């Protein structure tokens, strides 16, 4: 049973399960969760009950949950709903980390609510949570080859050589955002993360999968 006096944050990385997809652009959400776990020496373990890889740890009066659904991207919401139900947690505890082909590679946006923007993983999360009111950290994956092929092919390819060189720093920045959310006001974190792109189009993505 959850201690109601403790704050809980459920960090959910979106991606596709299996070695075939491990390094693809669509799996950057998993990469960020993996890095967070590595930094804090946590081990993500497969838990069949939740159809996910899971880790959990305490930061003073906050419990952080890490979740990587083992369902394919367009079914991501079902394992998340099962996890939240088990621990009696609501959508307000959720922070989803996902790829976003509407953002340039290396840019992040943090939102406390919003639409799925056509992203199949976010569509599934929204469907199973029954609300758009959950936080999401969107990781830009639109590199210089974006638009040269169908989107469904682009997101399922590995990062380019140039992107791979920059990827560790990008993932590290995202993991640091998740750490900040444990101790700082989400509005402040959002303002800091989004300041770098405040003069650019701030609309929700319309082309992601």
| Residues belonging to the active site | 26
CB 69 within 8 A of CB 51: yes
Distance CA 200, CA 85 (A): 38
Q: Which helix (H) or strand (E) holds 85?
A: helix 77-87
| Residue 69 β-bridge partners | 52
Bridging pattern class, strands 52-59 and 62-69: antiparallel
How many angstroms separate the Cα of 65 from the Cα of each of 12, 54, 78, 87, 115? 8, 7, 16, 11, 23
Please enumerate in sequence order all residues whose Cβ is within 8 A of that of 144, keeping only pairs 6 or more positions apart, or say none.
160, 162
CB 59 within 8 A of CB 108: no
Name the maximum alpha-carbon separation found in the chain. 51
CB 141 within 8 A of CB 209: no
CB 194 within 8 A of CB 110: yes
């Amino acid at each position: 049973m959850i201690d109601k006096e403790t704050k809980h944050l459920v960090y959910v990385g979106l991606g596709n399960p299996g070695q075939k997809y491990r390094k693809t652009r669509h799996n950057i959400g998993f990469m960020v969760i993996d890095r967070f776990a590595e930094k804090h020496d946590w081990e993500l373990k497969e838990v069949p009950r939740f159809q996910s890889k899971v880790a959990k740890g305490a930061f003073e009066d906050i419990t952080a949950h890490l979740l990587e659904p083992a369902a394919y991207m367009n079914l991501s919401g079902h394992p998340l709903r099962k996890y939240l139900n088990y621990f009696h947690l609501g959508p307000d505890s959720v922070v989803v980390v996902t790829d976003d082909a509407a953002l340039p590679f290396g840019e992040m946006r943090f939102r406390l609510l919003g639409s799925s923007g056509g992203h199949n993983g976010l569509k599934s999360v929204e469907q199973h949570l029954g609300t758009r009111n959950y936080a999401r950290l969107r990781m830009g994956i639109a590199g210089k080859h974006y638009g040269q092929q169908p989107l469904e092919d682009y997101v399922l390819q590995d990062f380019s050589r140039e992107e791979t060189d920059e990827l560790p720093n990008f993932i590290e920045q995202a993991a640091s955002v998740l750490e900040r959310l444990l101790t700082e006001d989400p509005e402040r974190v959002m303002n800091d993360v989004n300041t770098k792109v405040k003069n650019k189009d701030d609309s929700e993505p319309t082309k992601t999968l």
